[in-house]
Amino acid sequence: MERVIVTAVIDERERETDARASLAELKSLVTTAGGTVMATATQNRPAPDVSTYVGKGKAEEIQTLVEEWEADVVVVNGELSPRQGQSLTARTTARVIDRTQLILDIFADRARTKEGRIQVELAQLTYLLPRLRGQGESLSRLGAGIGTRGPGETKLETDRRHIRGRMDELKKDLRRIRKHRSTIREQKDRLNQPQFTLVGYTNSGKTTLLNALTNEDALAEDLLFATLDPLTRGLRLPSGLSARVSDTVGFIRGLPTTLIAAFRATLEEVTDADILIHVIDATSPEAESEKQTVLQLLNELGAGEIPVITVMNKAETLDEGTVPIVNVDRPWLYVSAKEHHHIGDLHRVMEDELSKQMAFYAIHIPASNGRLLHTIRQTTLVQSETFDEEKEMYKLEGYAFEGHPQVERLKKEGQEP
């Protein structure tokens, strides 16, 4: 496990609680990446130094800490310009990386699918391309430690034209994947399966909630960015309606713009949703600011108008006096994904919100047509079902998406009462 010194420039106008939360988050990111924070060096100033990020005196202090703790890496809580990165690297014997590179490093370690690996490499190359000048010494150390996972030495030591060519190849691969995903989505749409997508701040419990909703066992870890690749599971709601629920990568304040751009194909799971389930860690003292970060990123992705159910998760650890105040619109509810508390309530809220996007129907189905009856039960929200023994017909009332093929056909055949 590598020894890490974390450092930050704190804006004098920044709230102390915000600064502490951001620094604590950086330390969690270091832990997720496999490092141990040995010491912290902060500096209050109006803005980072344009040359060295921190002042020259603070840079000397950082090097003293590196020697004292025999540190391997210095992690900066911000994004370094190429000039700042080169200057700070020249003043310390440890590797110097910034918050963006650390997040990209975690993503590189956690990407499992071909799509995820392509997106991570593209994001890393986009980040590193303007920083190639003066990278010779640091590149010679790639391949061993935090901030070194991903493209590797051989790719980055080639000229810029070769790197841009590699980026073009990756973009083409992503376009092919995007087209394939679009085809799959169209096929699913024809099945009239509603799409729910879990969104939220990293480590808010989205994957644990996915497991609770679907009775599955996807890997859920108490680490930042435990889920990177998109994960979709089937779900049967109380009415019998078959739906899909997708897990997504957790959001975080200061999520690199290169990462948002590269992962846009994956994040289409968000924009394609009928309803978003916004999972908030109800025990987090920063729940309100984390909520705002998620809402801001949803707006950037073009998903700001999609209906949202807000879930205050981890309620099993809450006392009445410690419940944080989070301003959210209805519908919202407290749940414990870990203990499966109030999951049934959430299922019912999901149905209620879906019905607002559907049209009411009342239809009759002959008892002899069991296949059609099964289809209606699985693809619509059946609210009531009665059997007329004299006519040997089932009467169903409920809600279906506009244009539902079987419901529309029954209406045209005059079987609507």
Is residue 206 a known part of a binding site? yes
Is residue 200 a known part of a binding site? yes
Beta-carbon neighbour count of residue 414 at 10 Å?
A: 8
Q: What pLDDT is attached to residue 197?
A: 92
Do 249 and 105 reside in the same domain of the chain?
no
366 found inside a domain: yes
Strand partners, 10: 44
Which one of 102, 124, 153 terminates a domain?
153
Q: Model's pTM, two decimal places? A: 0.80
Is residue 337 a known part of a binding site? yes
324: pLDDT strictly greater than 70: no
182 found inside a domain: no
Secondary structure E strands in 314-391? 332-334, 359-366, 381-388
Token pair belonging to 65: 């800490």
CATH number at residue 19: 3.40.50.11060
Token pair belonging to 67: 């020697």
Q: SS3 helix, strand, coil % of the chain, rounded to 5?
A: 45, 20, 35
Do 214 and 340 reside in the same domain of the chain?
yes
Beta-carbon neighbour count of residue 92 at 10 Å?
A: 20
Number of domains observed in the structure of the chain: 3
164 found inside a domain: no
158 found inside a domain: no
Q: What pLDDT is attached to residue 316?
A: 83
Q: What pLDDT is attached to residue 238?
A: 92
User: What average pLDDT does the segment 348-363 reach?
Assistant: 94
Is residue 387 a known part of a binding site? no
Is residue 226 a known part of a binding site? yes
- DSSP secondary structure string for all residues of 381-399: EEEEEEEETTTTEEEEEEE
Which one of 97, 129, 153 terminates a domain?
153
Do 265 and 366 reside in the same domain of the chain?
no
List pLDDT tens digits, range 218-253: 555 555 555 555 678 889 999 999 999 988 877 887
Do 204 and 281 reside in the same domain of the chain?
yes
Q: What pLDDT is attached to residue 133?
A: 59
For residues 18 and 206, the model is more confident at 206
72 found inside a domain: yes
Beta-carbon neighbour count of residue 54 at 10 Å?
A: 25
109: pLDDT strictly greater than 70: yes
**In which domain, by residue range, is 231 found?**
191-355
Is residue 291 a known part of a binding site? no
Is residue 229 a known part of a binding site? yes
Do 403 and 348 reside in the same domain of the chain?
no
C-alpha 411, offset from chain centre: 42
Say if CB 262 and CB 126 are below 8 A apart: yes
Do 337 and 386 reside in the same domain of the chain?
no
Do 207 and 275 reside in the same domain of the chain?
yes
329: pLDDT strictly greater than 60: yes
In which band, very low, low, confident or very high, does the pLDDT at 417 lie, cut at 50, 70 and 90? very low
Q: Name the packing angle between helices 405-412 and 370-379 (round to 10°).
A: 130
Is residue 207 a known part of a binding site? yes
Is residue 249 a known part of a binding site? yes
Is residue 338 a known part of a binding site? yes
Q: What angle do CA 411, 413, 417 make, to 5 degrees?
A: 55
Q: What pLDDT is attached to residue 139?
A: 44
Q: What angle do CA 381, 358, 292 make, to 5 degrees?
A: 105
Do 318 and 382 reside in the same domain of the chain?
no
Is residue 205 a known part of a binding site? yes
In which band, very low, low, confident or very high, does the pLDDT at 300 lie, cut at 50, 70 and 90? confident
Is residue 182 a known part of a binding site? no
Do 223 and 320 reside in the same domain of the chain?
yes
Q: Name the packing angle between helices 160-190 and 114-128 (round to 10°).
A: 140
d(CA 175, CA 249): 20
In which band, very low, low, confident or very high, does the pLDDT at 186 lie, cut at 50, 70 and 90? low
Is residue 225 a known part of a binding site? yes
What is the residue-averaged pLDDT of the chain? Answer: 83
In which band, very low, low, confident or very high, does the pLDDT at 416 lie, cut at 50, 70 and 90? very low
278: pLDDT strictly greater than 90: yes
Say if CB 216 and CB 225 are below 8 A apart: no
Is residue 203 a known part of a binding site? yes
Is residue 317 a known part of a binding site? no
Residue type, 59: A
Say if CB 98 and CB 92 are below 8 A apart: no
Beta-carbon neighbour count of residue 30 at 10 Å?
A: 22
CATH number at residue 383: 3.30.1370
In which band, very low, low, confident or very high, does the pLDDT at 258 lie, cut at 50, 70 and 90? low
d(CA 76, CA 85): 10
